[in-house]
Structure 1
Amino acid sequence: MTTTTAGAAPHLGVGAPRRGLASRIADRLGGGVIQVAMVVLGVFWLVPTLGLLVVSLRSVQVNNAEGWWTVFTKPAELTLENYKNLLATGFTASFWNTVLITVPTTILVIGIAAMAAYAFAWMDFPGRDTAFLVVVGLLIVPIQIALIPVAAFYGGIGIFGTIPGVVLFHVAFGLPFAIFLLRNFFVGIPASLLEAARMDGASEWKIFASVVFPLGKPAIASLGIFQFLWVWNDMLVALVFADTGSQPMTKALQSQMRQFGSNIDILSSGAFLSLLIPLVLFFGFQRYFVQGMMAGSVK
């Protein structure tokens, strides 16, 4: 017969796990050091952008003779002459072509995908699951296999080489991912909210516009950032479907690469302008982007 000392709990062999050396070091250092390390990493990430900015603000002769980091000792070398020369080459037209392609594409993809995602998430209709599986299957279709057939189709209907043709192509290939993303977000909306709206007599359109769409702003903002960046930085579709009058900045910069040694001033200033808008967009909507990425992590 086994006895135990009064007032002493039997040993169960269970205790706090032993902590490793890395864990103890992390506790000693605290969060402050980690934050400093993240700031240092962020600065290193921005170094190429800073270098591109400096190169775009110096003459070709100076860039060929010195590294961009020498600007800290010779700030008088900075000039806006490169940007004046860039605007004189007709780059402004390419900039506006990029805007006319990217903005309508982003708006159309968000609008169509949001309505389709709501239908897949909360409306019951014949073939709904099959149709959604088809949409998911379209995610793996490479864009390259559609270039020649779509080009032939565009030539037949007379929109090859136009901005609407480029926009339609981007919309078609942007919708599968957009519908998939928003549908998975909309499914997480409490069904009680939608049922309450239906009991109040709201139509499906009213429910979508006043309940689902406002609650889906984080996911919609994340999708908008993704779609904007994809189209803004695209060159493959522009090379195939845009002509000289409708070419975006990516194609205009690519055409300058043939003379890289003599026009680095045009390339650097044009590249920085094409980079500036996405950076402003990302940092301006960073809060919504993070919310969209974290939306499904906590229930």
Structure 2
Amino acid sequence: MIDCCTCCGSDRKAPVSYKNSFPKKLLVAVSVVIVLAMCVTPADARSVEHRRRHQRRPDTMAELTKDTMKRPKNSSTEQYKNATRKIKHKLRNTKRFFDQDRRRLNETKEYRDGMPVWLPAVNFVDIHFHDYRTPRKAGKSITERKFAYLMPKLHKTLKEYQVIFKRLQNVQLNTSDESFNSYVAVRKHLLSNSLAKLYSTIAEIQENMVAVKMPIPHFDESRMKLETLKTKVDATQCLKNDYIAFRGYGNLLNNWYYEFRCPLNKKSDKKCAGFHAKMKEKLGNKRYKNRNNVSITS
């Protein structure tokens, strides 16, 4: 039997029913959404989320974060830090040059020490353990309080040795020993160099005091006990006085240098640890002596 459609020769197709099929327009819309979702990268998604969080954050918190990150430096504190740094470097060079010259002097003659009254006494234990956290003046930083406490003391001790070295430079020797003359020549060189470096270091201290508007302390030479430091001496007394003065000055420069280099909170450095230990031992000895003095007098 021949199909009726073939017999009729008609091109018409049987109608398709869309009753249970997926709508064409809705299919296109879903495809477009899927394509757009695939184009959005994770980075874009994160940036969108970041913007949302930023929009939710209050403006006051954003300003606070910026102020914290870009907090300006205290110009006054920086000025004191720069002044202290310059003086510390000057003190280091003064110590280095003196050690070199004293080494030459030590090679010329052996001599022994003593503790006369004209030798300046500096209490480095009290200086090292001074409490800078106690506010002496309102609004002053620790750097400013430390500068104000240390610089007058440093200035005074250097001025004292300046006076002593001038006096040693004017010594009149009662000797004609030729072997001693070589010592005298090296001694003269050491005193001249030491005085030149002292002038320079003291000038540096005064200059930086003026820079931070701090008054230069008055130095009273008459308070020094120089009566026993005679200017007319023999070779033996000259050697003894020189050794005492040079050893005291070397210890002074060394202690001041480490006082600036090694504050109490810096203990990782090996040399600083040794300096702290030495000061702590002296502090213990001082307290022990004070307790004994109290028990004796009571």
- Asked if TM exceeds 0.5, the reply is no
Q: Look at both structures and tell me which one has the larger radius of gyration over its CA atoms.
A: 2
Greater helix share, structure number: 1
